[in-house]
Structure 1
Amino acid sequence: MSVLRILPIDTPTLGDRGYLVHDGSVAFVVDPQRDIDRILALADAEGVRITHVFETHIHNDYVTGGSALAGATGAAYHVNAEDPVTFERVAVRDGDEIAVGDTIRVRVLATPGHTFTHLSYALFEDDRPVGVFTGGSLLYGSVGRPDLLGPAHTGALVRHQYASARRLATELPDTAAVYPTHGFGSFCSATQSEASASTIATERLGNPALTRDEETFVAELLAGLDAWPAYYAHMAPANLVGPEEPDLSLPERADADQLRKRLAAGEWVVDLRNRVAFAAGHLAGTLNFGLDGSFATYLGWLIPWGTPVTLLGDTREQVAEAQRELVRIGIDRPAAYATGSPWQWVGDGEPAMLPRATFADLAQVRHHRRVVVLDVRRRLEWSDGHLDDAVHIPLHELLDRLDEVPDGEVWVHCAAGYRSSIGASILAAAGRRVVTVDDEYPAGAVA
């Protein structure tokens, strides 16, 4: 009877997943995130000792916790021999096999495509193939993006990705479970799936890499790619040097006077509250990146890298959650924080407000007066349909294109309201008169 346990470690805000695998005694971890305390807590709760850590690739979308986890546990840290890392690791290559305890074996499979040195790890229990940890190779109904290393390499990587997916489907039985790292909302995935589990057999039926001919696969995949977060450029360099465990203690506390000084100095003061609370009252000049959405993804995408960040939240717990999100993308220490309410943050003044509206409100207003409609969705969303006479500036380009927003009152919209609040707060901080459309986009399709 099998005692093998495969436990996912989800990071839904980044759309990623790592794994803790154990036999009741010893364990290994695949693709750990930076905040390793939750992995150590899971291993402790399971009563197991982590002896091995496996990295499928040098990640582009988050800072790895592999080196820190190996250091904290004494585990062997397995990384592709071809990766030019500067830390101590156990170099592995295609075909290597690693024993974990008495019954578990892990076989290394070269699966380039997401990166040139990408590896997958096939899992065996008592010589029985159980599954494969595919990282950014074969995902649920998709594959990892082949374009993150730049356009010069995309053509080669997309064909490697096709071949790697087919290698996995050829060398593993239909019953083998598929355990990817990306594909749960990560921008590292070429497309998204609602699936939470899969097998090689399931992927044979529906994954384009296994159902299309190579030329069709290549054309369709490349046509569906859109922009990825700008902070990705900083992830691989950080991961090549073996990031240390982050400091998650709270930074210094800022009062109203300090907040004003930080804003005046051009620093980012970020309001973590949801967009409804932000609209009802906030410190003028602050930017709204709510913790109820893809907070780290969009903040990391927009912020000029290295800009000091101060966090404003209802509670210390909210600030701590934001810190945890930020260390995962390499923003290690906020400059300061404050909690409470906008009345405490503004000092002697009064909180600013941001009008909210629906698409129906927008349609009615446009019948009576001219307003600027700013669509901050991404390129492919705009291509699928957009409002007449709208100005299109994707959110991730807005800071660099503020002078392209026409004069007048600006009504900002996205697909559901989260990004429009970010965009509206940026425009308001720049002195523009703004309304945020907090509504589902289909409701405004005929506005």
Structure 2
Amino acid sequence: MHVETISTAALGDRGYLVHDGETALVIDPQRDFDRVEDLATRLGVRITHVAETHVHNDYVTGGLALAHRHHATYLVAAAEDVSFDRHPVHPGDTLSVGSMTVTAVATPGHTEHHLAYLVEHDGRRAVFSGGNLLFGSVGRTDLVAPDRTTDLTHAQYRSARALADHAGDDATLHPTHGFGSFCSSGPAVVTDGSTIAEQRRSNHVLTDDDEQHFVRDLIANLTTYPSYYSHMAPLNRLGPGAPDLSLPEPLRPAELRVRIADGQWVVDLRSRVAFAAGHLAGTVSVEYGQSFTTYLGWTLPWGEPVTLVGSEEDVRAAIRDLSRIGVDRPAAAIGDPADGLAPDHPVVAYRRATWSDLPHADRPVVLDVRRTDEHADRHVTGSVNIPLHDLIARLDEVPPGEVWVHCASGYRAGIAASLLHRAGRDVVHLDGDWTQATHAGVATSP
């Protein structure tokens, strides 16, 4: 048995291709499944089965479309209410994939009908745990409904421990979440691999023998999660098709100007440094990188048109990333926004600063756009906290005057500064690491 990992670092998830040298099972594929197909081709294996551990809340699946393309059996829990044909899987079901044996194990908690898959071959065991047992923790339990969180947390505790017992200490563990995904909870850690034996020593769901304590502790430490999550499960229940990842016909300058004038979301993909130095008035900065998808999807209103502006390389990559959260076929303008991309449209700028530049006397408004739990832990004394994902709806709550905006690293603050500037505010982007604030003599409070 060979286990190949397909990582989607931008969303903190992993999918898997498991094969015996000839036949392959794919588990929890992302929307852009061409990566899986390329891997299968390189390995010379045939995809005969595609499995979902659960109906995902943080990304749009590529499972149904991948299964259709390869005439593969699509494995989805029988209890799930979905709008497409699939092979309904019940807990305890066992099937053969080539010379491998695959057993479905009930693991409710992250979702109500969650399944893990135990794959056995030539004396080896591998557990594909989805959002159940992660490296160091478990998947969060508050994504189904607020009134189900406590019950699902109890279920998560029991099913994770039962899964560990069922799989055995020598089994390798392969979770889908827990690599930066907001679907994880508690002290999840990022590592290349682990076993059930290692998790028995380090995972709090397996080391805490007090179920009530575990439940209270997990729920108390749940933080907010991206708003676009609410759209993922409904899309996945409908059965999403394959994405169109081709580059659209670039917008003409006149079309770009009209979109900006109409107040549409025109997103500049360049670095936040370049954006602050000069950008098309009315555009928004969401620097392309690992956090791009999460914060664009969390910040901008869901379902409204998006236009991407940047290099061809960045636009292509952004189209792929956005397809994973159901933002399909954004329009695009290719080129440097500050250098003739839309002639006669004003180019504007705003100031960037470091923590040492923040005045101690006559201090301006300091806007903290971190999450409320981050702000509560420690913040600039007297600062205003409006999380980035709430800023568009709460712009009128930002006090008057010059606004210095910060986050933990400068990334979220760059987006927030662009939104404020777009709204006509006098803004300074405090682009620095939060840990340097006290070193610069800035007063902070717990």
TM-score (norm 1): 0.96
Alignment of 1:345 onto 2:341: yes
Any idea what SS the aligned residue of 2:347 has?
A: coil
Q: CA separation in 2, counterparts of 1:361 and 1:196?
A: 41
Alignment of 1:51 onto 2:43: no
Alignment of 1:355 onto 2:335: no
Q: CA separation in 2, counterparts of 1:121 and 1:349?
A: 56
Alignment of 1:323 onto 2:319: yes
Q: CA separation in 2, counterparts of 1:307 and 1:225?
A: 29
Unaligned runs of 5+ in 2: none
1:61-140 superposed matches below 5 A: 61-102=58-99, 104-126=100-122, 128-140=123-135
Alignment of 1:373 onto 2:370: no
Offset, 1:203: 0.9
Q: CA separation in 2, counterparts of 1:293 and 1:397?
A: 21
Which amino acid in the other structure matches residue 113 of structure 1?
Answer: G
1:78-227 superposed matches below 5 A: 78-102=75-99, 104-126=100-122, 128-191=123-186, 192-212=188-208, 213-227=210-224
Offset, 1:341: 4.0
Tell me what 1:403 maps to. Answer: 396
Q: CA separation in 2, counterparts of 1:125 and 1:91?
A: 23
Whether the 8 Å CA contact 2:257–2:345 is kept in 1: the answer is no
Whether the 8 Å CA contact 2:177–2:184 is kept in 1: the answer is yes
Tell me what 2:227 maps to. Answer: 230
Q: CA separation in 2, counterparts of 1:388 and 1:223?
A: 25
Which amino acid in the other structure matches residue 161 of structure 1?
Answer: Q
Offset, 1:49: 0.5
Offset, 1:196: 2.5
Which amino acid in the other structure matches residue 37 of structure 2?
Answer: L
Which amino acid in the other structure matches residue 156 of structure 1?
Answer: D
Whether the 8 Å CA contact 2:251–2:331 is kept in 1: the answer is no
Any idea what SS the aligned residue of 2:181 has?
A: coil
Write the deviation string for residues 279-326 of structure 1: whole angstroms up to 9, x where unpaired: 12111111111112411111111121111111011x212101000000
Any idea what SS the aligned residue of 2:64 has?
A: helix
Over 6 Å off, 4+ runs: none
Offset, 1:370: 3.2
Whether the 8 Å CA contact 1:411–1:436 is kept in 2: the answer is yes
Which amino acid in the other structure matches residue 169 of structure 2?
Answer: D
Any idea what SS the aligned residue of 1:420 has?
A: helix
Q: CA separation in 1, counterparts of 2:205 and 2:333?
A: 47
Offset, 1:350: 4.6
Distance 1:247-1:349 versus aligned 2 partners, 3 A rule: closer
Unaligned runs of 5+ in 1: none
Q: CA separation in 2, counterparts of 1:317 and 1:398?
A: 29
Q: CA separation in 1, counterparts of 2:283 and 2:194?
A: 43
1:434-445 superposed matches below 5 A: 434-445=427-438
Alignment of 1:36 onto 2:33: yes
Whether the 8 Å CA contact 1:414–1:420 is kept in 2: the answer is yes
Tell me what 2:375 maps to. Answer: 382
TM-score (norm 2): 0.96
Q: CA separation in 2, counterparts of 1:166 and 1:85?
A: 28
Alignment of 1:334 onto 2:327: no
Offset, 1:168: 1.1
Which amino acid in the other structure matches residue 334 of structure 2?
Answer: A
Tell me what 2:21 maps to. Answer: 24
Q: CA separation in 2, counterparts of 1:292 and 1:92?
A: 37
Whether the 8 Å CA contact 1:135–1:181 is kept in 2: the answer is yes
Whether the 8 Å CA contact 1:248–1:320 is kept in 2: the answer is yes
Which amino acid in the other structure matches residue 417 of structure 2?
Answer: A
Offset, 1:220: 1.2
The number of residue pairs the alignment matches comes to 438
Any idea what SS the aligned residue of 2:224 has?
A: coil
Which amino acid in the other structure matches residue 355 of structure 1?
Answer: R
Q: CA separation in 2, counterparts of 1:169 and 1:246?
A: 36
Q: CA separation in 2, counterparts of 1:307 and 1:107?
A: 42
Which amino acid in the other structure matches residue 400 of structure 1?
Answer: A
Any idea what SS the aligned residue of 2:379 has?
A: coil
Q: CA separation in 1, counterparts of 2:158 and 2:268?
A: 45
Offset, 1:251: 1.9
Whether the 8 Å CA contact 1:291–1:322 is kept in 2: the answer is yes
Q: CA separation in 2, counterparts of 1:129 and 1:220?
A: 35
Q: CA separation in 2, counterparts of 1:340 and 1:401?
A: 31
Which amino acid in the other structure matches residue 332 of structure 1?
Answer: D
Write the deviation string for residues 385-425 of structure 1: whole angstroms up to 9, x where unpaired: 00101000111111111111000000000000100000001
